Structures are given as structure tokens and as C-alpha cells.
Amino acid sequence: MAGTQYFPNPGERRDNGMAAAGGRDSRDSMDSTAPLPRVPAGPPAPPPYGVPSGPAGAVPVAPRGPAGPDRQLPRLTPITAAALVAIALVSGLLWWVIRHDSGGSEPEAVAQDPLTSGQFRYEVVAGPENTTDCAANSYGKVEDWFAEHSCDGLSRALYVTETGGQRALVSVVQVTMSTPELAQQLKVITDTDNTGNVNDLVRDGTANIPGAPEVAGGEYDSKVDGGEVTIVEARLFDDSSDRALLSRITEDALRLGGVGG
């Protein structure tokens, strides 16, 4: 029919200025300065997680972090400081009341028993015998020395100790002199052989102990503490000569000076 055009392929049809080549819209060849169609505005995008929303156009403010070293702590008011001081004073007073509620002073330490607190354990078998007449209870050069230098006090006692199946008789004598110098002189005399000594309670017959050895011929030791002289003699009941054991006993028994005196 006249006025009608036929095309072999519908995709090649031209209509209203549309170009068929490549199937592109003829608007691609239009001027790039032509205004683009407006897109309807949608709802605003939500703020990022954790950032508070605000009025449109406002700049989000980052949340405040922990206080840094330059951040100053609040100062105590005079009333608050006074309250803290009062609390400290009350606490101290309560502690003092609790500590002293049982009677006042701290409990004293319990004194150790010298008979059981050393290397050996001792049993008192005679004495103590106390006097102020040292010359009458001595012999040899020691008696002569006491005739010129009287003592202030004399205490004598006998003990028995047992270890490893062996029993020993121990004589402990304590002499009190008026000065440390006289006490040292007495120790020098008694430490010297063949000068005599203070009588033990077996030698002068005061103690009657069956089978008691003569301690005057046994092991010997002495010490000075200020104006006090302690003299110890010991011997085994079986009269054996275990000098190592007896030496340990006499050294340990020096702490018994003045026990019960």
C-alpha cells in the first residue's frame, strides 16, 4: 500500500528519530549539557551505628571516651574532707578499744622452763641450798680466796639427766659477787687445776642419793655473767668416761644457774 513502509526485521524499525544501529537510543547522540530528569527524593539514609542522629546538616559528634591523664578530678570540698578525717578518727578509736578491751596491756610471753627447754632434760634431785657464807662451803685455794673476798650469795643444786640409756648426775653452783671484776677473779681460780672449788651437795654430805658418783672428779665448765659465776660438774652413774657426752651436758647445764635460787 502506498505511504506504508515495510522492514524485513522489526528490530530495525525506525520510529520517532530512534536509531536501530546497535539498538542504542538516539539520546546518546544528544547534547551532554541537556538537563537530566530529576529523581524523586527518598527518605534520608540512617546514621551510622552508634552515632546519634540530629538535624539535617548537623555534623555528628563522636561520643566522649574515658578521661585522659590531662583531665582533672573534682576537688574535695572542705565538708567532704572533714567527713573523711572524722571517719578515720572513729575507725582508729574503735580499733584501740577492741585491742584494749580485754584488760589493757599485751599478754606477756610465757617463760620457758630451763629444765626442759635445752638440749637435755633435767630433774632436780637435791637443793637448791642457799647461803651467803661461801668460805664455809668451799675447799682448797678457793676457800682461802673467799676468806678475803666474801660473796653476796651462793646457790647449789643437783640434777639428773638421762640420754641414750646413760644417766648423769649434774652439780650446778651459782656464786654472786659484788662486782664483775671479783666474779672474773673467782672464775680464773676455779678454772685452774688443783685449786679446789665450791662443795657440791654430794661432797659435803647434804644430799643422800644411792649410787651417786663423785661429780667433783667429773667433767667441768663455768661462765661469768656480770657479777654471777656459774660452775657445773657432771659425772655418769656407771662411772664411764664418755667425756664427749659429759662435755655437752656441762655446757648445756650452765643455763640452770640460779634455778630455784
pLDDT single digits (tens) 220-236 = 999 999 999 999 999 99
Determine the residue type at 83: A
Average pLDDT, the chain: 77
Binned at pLDDT 50, 70 and 90, residue 13 comes out as very low
Please give the average per-residue pLDDT across 140-169, as a whole number: 96
User: Does the predicted TM-score (pTM) go above 0.85?
Assistant: no
Gap between the Cα atoms of 160 and 182, Å rounded: 30
Banded pLDDT at 133 (limits 50, 70, 90)? very high
User: pLDDT exceeding 90 applies to what percent of the chain?
Assistant: 49
- Which three-class secondary structure state does DSSP give residue 68? coil
State the DSSP string of 163-231: ETTEEEEEEEEEEE-SSHHHHHHHHHHHHSTTS-EEPPTTTTT----TT---GGGSEEEEEEETTEEEE
49 pLDDT exceeds 90?
Answer: no
Asked if residue 122 lies in contact with residue 161, where contact means CB atoms within 8 angstroms, the answer is yes
